[in-house]
């Protein structure tokens, strides 16, 4: 199991090491949301993610039964959100343990921060790495 947590550690979760996709997003929304140059994330099937601590203090942003993001109600760290049916998208920065699936490419490099230079050899996509509409 991989453990994850929010900044203040009020909320913790567990997922098996079974992420199905992982990318590093440089879009302007991910940058604004994190205050960072990019957001590395991984997709995991929803039933595989378990909130193990602080479930009573999570903040549901959006529709619980539809699209939503889950944040810690105390420190407001983003824990996961619903990118597509059946999956949660987990910011890799919240993981305590190392996932087997590392980010495979950069996405939305076309709108990346001009002050940040990508210094690895991963593929770079100007927008989505997949056909728009399936993400
Ligand atoms: Zn917190
Ligand atoms: Zn993004």
Domain boundaries, the chain: 2-20+41-100
Q: How far apart are the first and last CA of the chain?
A: 26
Is the distance from CB of 24 to CB of 40 less than 8 angstroms? yes
- Where does the pLDDT of residue 133 fall: very low under 50, low under 70, confident under 90, or very high at 90 and above? low
pLDDT digits (tens, 9 = 90+) for 83-92: 988 999 999 9
For residue 32, report the distance from its CA to the centre of ligand 2, in Å. 9
Q: Does domain 2-20+41-100 have CATH number 2.170.150.70?
A: yes
Instruction: Give yes or no for residue 131 having a pLDDT over 90.
Output: no
Residue 57 Cα to ligand 1 midpoint, Å, equals 9
Phi, psi of 110 (to 5 degrees): -65, -20
Q: Model's pTM, two decimal places?
A: 0.92
11 Cα to the center of ligand 2, angstroms: 23
CA of 18 to the centre of ligand 2 (A): 22
7-62 pLDDT tens trace: 999 999 999 999 999 999 999 999 999 999 999 999 999 999 999 999 998 999 99
For 95, phi then psi, to 5°, come to -75, 135
Ligand 2 centroid to residue 92 C-alpha, Å: 13
CA 46 to CA 69: how far, in whole Å?
13
Residue 64 pLDDT grade (very low, low, confident, very high; cuts 50, 70, 90)? confident
How far does the centroid of ligand 1 lie from the alpha carbon of residue 5, in Å?
Answer: 8
Q: Which residues surround ligand 2, an ion (CB under 5 A)?
A: 25, 27, 30
Tell me how far the alpha carbon of residue 79 lies from the centroid of ligand 1, in angstroms: 9
The ligand placed nearest to the CA atom of residue 33 is 2
Please give the distance, rounded to the nearest whole angstrom, from the Cα atom of residue 33 to the centre of ligand 2.
9
């Amino acid at each position: 199991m991989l453990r994850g947590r929010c900044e203040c550690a009020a909320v913790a979760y567990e997922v098996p090491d079974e992420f199905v996709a992982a990318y590093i997003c440089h879009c302007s929304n991910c940058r604004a949301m994190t205050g960072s140059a990019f957001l590395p994330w991984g997709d995991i099937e929803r039933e595989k993610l378990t909130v193990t601590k602080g479930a009573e203090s999570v903040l549901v942003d959006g529709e619980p039964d539809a699209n939503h993001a889950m944040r810690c109600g105390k420190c407001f760290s983003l824990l996961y959100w619903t990118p597509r049916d059946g999956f949660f998208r987990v910011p890799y920065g919240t993981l305590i343990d190392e996932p087997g699936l590392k980010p495979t490419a950069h996405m939305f490099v076309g709108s990346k921060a001009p002050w940040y230079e990508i210094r690895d050899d991963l593929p770079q996509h100007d927008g989505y790495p997949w056909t728009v509409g399936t993400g």
